[in-house]
Amino acid sequence: MGVRNLNTGTKTRTKLGMALEQSAKEILSHVKGDARLATRRIVLPDEVDVKRIRTKAGMSQAEFARAFCLNPRTLQEWEQGRRKPDATTRAYLAVIAKNRAAVLDALAS
């Protein structure tokens, strides 16, 4: 795979451009086996106590569902043990449990 030199007439390099270039060099070095990049392992619990997360927030099912864009019926089924949240939802619920205010802030903007 070749690299083309696109002469745009400007020689100014931005911080973002330099950071992207450095990142690309690190990735290439890692792929070649010359460097080892730091990794992070994410472990999600198999079970999530949705009701505990909601009650700790001091919210009704309707309030919790509305605040976090969840289907109220699905939330009810999770709490009653008839259904289980998938991995993505368990991750979302873990973030809500850890920093509810940040999630509410992110959803409000």
Per-residue model confidence as pLDDT tens digits over 42-96: 888 888 999 999 999 999 999 999 999 999 999 999 999 999 999 999 999 999 9
* Predicted confidence (pLDDT) at residue 4 exceeds the cutoff of 70: no
| Model-wide pTM > 0.75 | no
Of 17 and 11, more confident: 17
Q: Residue 21's pLDDT is what? A: 94
Q: Residue 48's pLDDT is what? A: 92
Give dist(CA 79, CA 64) in Å, integer.
12
Domain 50-108 belongs to what topology? 434 Repressor (Amino-terminal Domain) (1.10.260)
